[in-house]
Structure 1
Amino acid sequence: MRTNPTGRQLRLGTELRKLRERAGLTATEAGQLLGSKQALISNVEAGRAGVSPERVRTLACHYDCPDKALVEAIAAMTGDRKRGWWEEYRELLTRPLLDLAELEHHAQSLRGATTARVPGLLQTREYALEIFRQAVTELSPPDIEHRLSFRIKRQTILFHEDNPTPYEAIVHEAALRMKVGGPTVARQQLQHMLNMSDRDHITLRAITFDVGAYPGSGQSIYFAHGPVPQLDTVHLDQSHGLVFLDAEAQLHKYRTLFERVEAVALDPGKTRDLIHNVMREL
């Protein structure tokens, strides 16, 4: 029995609970269909107990779920029992950060929008170091180093190995013009973004000050796309910590919000022109 399930294990249990509830069954009734006790279903849905792909398919059949793609995507969540690279940080960082790395590892694609900062996946080491130094809850030098190492490792895994994950970033002009770490660090950061945007799997777009207010301004949004839309996840980095959202209504809200953000963003070519202009003004 697990005492500290990962975010992915918890999500697997959540999706099975959603299927059961849509079928109008209690955990006790679901257990009876499997010839098991209610405790088994409860533990699986809470991420405390593992479940095989075959049992997932059996449960989905009992739940009369017609969406075969969803069922197979949920079944696939049971099969990856290898320890991910993020496990080396388990005693050094908070669990939500590890869950974020696990989420990115399994994502089909990633997209995000930021207002006041360059997205973490596009930050240079020097820029990220300054961000960590300015954290509201002061971090110790070892904590800063662990977080910095972890961020660079996420970038390396996602963008520099075989089959890099497609990534779309929308950045407000405010973040481009903010001299985090001073002019030299800021200029290096902008050049790094230009270099990264040359990669086929990275799309970089900007929102200018001229746009004014727009839906979602003032918050950062990070979207991890799963193998089917129902398994998408929204990640929010808020003042009280990292938040992961996966309820259907929440996913719909943030999909709509991101589409509206995209509608006011420059295309990649004009974004590069804007960054060059900002660099010349530094």
Structure 2
Amino acid sequence: MRSAPTGRQLRLGAELRKLRERAGLTSTQAAQLLGIKQNQVSNMEAGRHGVSPDRLRTIACRYDCSNKALVEGLVAMTPDRKRGWWEEYRELLPNALLDLAELEHHAQSLRAANTARIPGLLQTHDYAREIFRQAVIELSPPEIEHRLSFRIKRQAILYREDNPVPYEAIIHEAALRMEVGGSSVARQQLQHILDMSERGHITLRSITFSVGAYPGSGQSIYYAHGPVPQLDTVYLDQSHGPAFLDTEAQLQKYRTLFERVGAVALGPEKTRNLIHGVMREL
């Protein structure tokens, strides 16, 4: 029995609950159908009890779920005996950050839209350090170092030799022009994102000041694609704490939002030209 399920374990449990509810079953009825106790159903749906691939397929069959792609996507979320690298930071950093790293590790692709800063996966060491130094709630030097090393390790998904995660970043001109850490750090940061944009799996786009107001301009959005659309996740980094969104209505809202943001963004080549122009002004 798990006392503190991870975000991925909680999501799997929530998806099992959705399957049961779509089948029109109460937890008691589901337990009878599966030949287990009602509290076992509740514990699986709360992420407190693991589910094997065979058990999950049995559950999907008993719940009359005919979406094979969804079932196999859920099977892929069943417990992995290997501990992810992020577990090294448990007790050192907030659990939400560990859940974010796990989400990124398993994502099929990632999309980010940022207004005021460069997305975390594209930040340089010096840029990220300055961001952490400016945190609203002051961080101790050790915590800054933990967060810094954690952020750099997260970026490894973009450097994998086998199957690097496809990544698209839409960055507002305001973030490109903000001299975080001074002009030297800012210039190095811009050069870094230019270099990263040359990688085949990374797409870099920008929104210029001339666009004016646009949908979603007041927030940073991070969208992780799962193996099927139902298993996508939206991550919002808010001042009062991060939020993971995964209801059907929420996912559709942010898919539409990304489409509208993308419609006003420059293409990759014009974005690189803009960045070169900003660098010349530093």
Question: 1:242 is matched with which residue?
Answer: 242
**Shift in Å at residue 79 of structure 1?**
4.4
Percent identity between the two aligned chains: 79
Give a deviation string over 1:101-138, Cα, whole Å, max 9, x none: 00001000001100000001100000000000000010
Distance 1:23 1:217, change over 3 A: same
For 1:161 and 1:47, how far apart are their aligned partners in 2?
Answer: 32
TM score, norm. by length of structure 1: 0.98
Per-residue CA deviations over 1:9-44 (Å, capped at 9, x if unaligned) read 101000000010111101111000111110000000
Give the Cα separation in 2 of the matches to 1:158 and 1:90. Answer: 23
Deviates more, 1:156-165 or 1:117-126: 156-165
1:1-282 alignment to 2 at 5 Å? 1-282=1-282
Structure-1 separation of matches of 2:172 and 2:216: 11
1:152-181 deviations in whole A, cap 9, x for unaligned? Answer: 011124324432111000000000000110
Looking at structure 1, the residues matched to 81 and 176 of structure 2 have their Cα atoms a distance apart, in angstroms, of 40
TM normalised by structure 2 equals 0.98
Q: How many pairs does the alignment contain?
A: 282
154-163 vs 67-76, greater mean Cα deviation: 154-163
Q: Check conservation: 1:170, 1:207, Cα contact below 8 A.
A: yes
Q: Kindly indicate whether the alpha-carbon contact (under 8 Å) linking 1:105 and 1:158 is maintained by their aligned counterparts in 2.
A: no
Separation (CA, whole Å) in 2 of partners of 1:258 and 1:84:
30
Task: Show structure 1 runs of 5+ residues with no match.
Answer: none
Q: After the TM superposition, which of the residue ranges 200-209 and 77-86 deviates more from structure 2?
A: 77-86
Q: Distance in 1 between matches of 2:79 and 2:50?
A: 10
Equivalents in 2 of 1:240, 1:161: separation in Å? 37
- Write the distance in 1 (CA, Å) between the matches of 2:20 and 2:183: 56
